[in-house]
């Protein structure tokens, strides 16, 4: 029977003519189910918890609503006339004016087996789960990328919580099965890019951490992987290694640790490294929270991209989508736990550590970074 697929985003051939995009498999499942219900209304009992909101096509959703709303006809009467079909059409047409009597009869002809209505309903619910998960992943990605709001981190974590609730709900709707992990190839990690301000803040952290190692002892919530620039991550490891070993920390001892790790090269001279860790400004915790905040937002965007890739792969079952997405979200939650430790107030039972307020921008080192720091980006 003829169908009317959406062509609003259809690609074009080289000659500029628009090609009609083939409908998704769920389109045919919706047609088959509606055909089964129009042919044998009693099959509505086989659709379980299916609602009009599960449908991808608006007209199909309107028809399903009409079928569920109107009393089912007697089988004998339904076999003799089309009165009930006419009522269904009249009920659905105000919400889907493109519907016609011929389309309803075409749906009946298209249905392979009315007794398979339950299977068609499962396909519709599975595709709705895929679309729902993709929508929430896109919201998470968009929120993580939008830093214009008053509190991007809180907004991102709210979206992550919403995504987690969706996963919990879907987990209860679809039974587990062997091979629960998605078969989608892992996405290629995208390198993080930072601004000049991000560069300055990471440099400020390294310098203040070198100047105030006692505060670094309390900053186990910050990891080398949170830094944008690999050189800065390695230097942070140098500082924290000295601190946790109980060694003396100053620019020279950091230089010595960096030398042992093979960081001193023609590209990064001893003079460059000394300059990098010798101009403190503000508090290590202040700069550390900024670094961690950016890492959390970047991780949220990566997780959202990963989940979106799972939903784009039609070979994944709902259970595989849930399992893979939960694992992806766990990566974000691990960083979120560290963020909570970084930003939680100090318990009243312990004396609060002195925490300096960040100095004005006149305090940080010059905006022109040492040559080696620039090369490390």
The answer as to CATH 1.10.860 being correct for domain 25-112 is yes
What CA–CA distance (Å, rounded) separates 36 from 100? 17
What pLDDT, on the 0 to 100 scale, is given for residue 348? 54
- Which residues in the chain belong to E strands, given as ranges? none
Query: Which residue's entry shows tokens 């002195």?
Result: 354
> Three-class SS of residue 193?
coil
Q: CA 42: distance to chain centroid? A: 41
Rounded to two decimals, what is the model's pTM? 0.82
Q: How far is CA 281 from CA 135, 247, 374, in A?
A: 42, 22, 20
Q: What percentage of the chain carries pLDDT values higher than 90? A: 77
What CA–CA distance (Å, rounded) separates 275 from 327? 42
**Domain ranges across the chain:** 25-112, 128-190+295-343, 196-294+350-375
What pLDDT, on the 0 to 100 scale, is given for residue 335? 96
pLDDT (tens digit per residue) in 202-232? 999 999 999 999 999 999 999 999 999 999 9
Which of the following CATH numbers is that of domain 196-294+350-375: 1.10.10.10, 3.40.50.300, 3.90.1150.10, 1.10.860.10? 1.10.860.10
What pLDDT, on the 0 to 100 scale, is given for residue 22? 79
Fold match, 25-112 / 196-294+350-375: yes
């Amino acid at each position: 029977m003829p169908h009317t697929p959406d062509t609003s985003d259809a690609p074009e051939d080289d000659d500029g003519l628009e090609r009609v995009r083939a409908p998704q498999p769920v389109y045919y499942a919706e047609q088959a189910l509606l055909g089964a219900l129009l042919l044998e209304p009693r099959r509505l009992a086989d659709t379980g918890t299916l609602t009009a909101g599960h449908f991808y096509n608006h007209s199909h959703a309107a028809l399903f609503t009409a079928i569920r709303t109107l009393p089912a006809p007697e089988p004998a009467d339904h076999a003799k006339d089309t009165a009930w079909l006419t009522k269904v059409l009249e009920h659905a047409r105000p919400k889907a004016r493109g519907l016609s009597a011929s389309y309803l009869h075409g749906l009946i002809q298209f249905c392979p087996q009315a007794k398979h209505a339950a299977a068609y309903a499962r396909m519709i619910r599975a595709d709705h789960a895929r679309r729902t998960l993709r929508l929430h992943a896109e919201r998470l990605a968009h929120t993580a990328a939008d830093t214009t709001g008053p509190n991007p981190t809180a907004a991102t974590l709210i979206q992550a919580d919403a995504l987690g609730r969706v996963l919990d709900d879907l987990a209860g709707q679809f039974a587990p099965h062997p091979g629960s992990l998605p078969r989608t190839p892992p996405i290629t990690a995208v390198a993080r890019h930072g601004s000049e301000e991000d560069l300055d803040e990471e440099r400020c952290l390294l310098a203040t951490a070198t100047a105030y190692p006692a505060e670094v002892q309390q900053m186990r919530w910050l990891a080398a992987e949170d830094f944008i620039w690999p050189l800065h991550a390695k230097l942070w490891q140098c500082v924290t290694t000295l601190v946790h070993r109980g060694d003396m920390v100053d620019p020279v001892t950091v230089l010595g640790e960096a030398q042992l790790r093979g960081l001193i090269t023609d590209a990064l001279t001893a003079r460059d490294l000394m300059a990098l860790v010798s101009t403190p400004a503000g508090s290590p915790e202040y700069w550390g929270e900024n670094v961690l905040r950016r890492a959390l937002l970047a991780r949220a965007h990566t997780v959202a991209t990963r989940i979106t890739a799972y939903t784009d792969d039609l070979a994944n079952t709902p259970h595989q989508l849930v399992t893979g997405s939960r694992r992806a979200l766990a990566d974000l939650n691990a960083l979120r736990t560290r963020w909570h430790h970084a930003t939680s107030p100090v318990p009243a039972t312990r004396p609060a550590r002195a925490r300096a307020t960040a100095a004005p921008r006149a305090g940080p080192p010059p905006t022109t970074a040492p040559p080696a720091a620039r090369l490390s980006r």
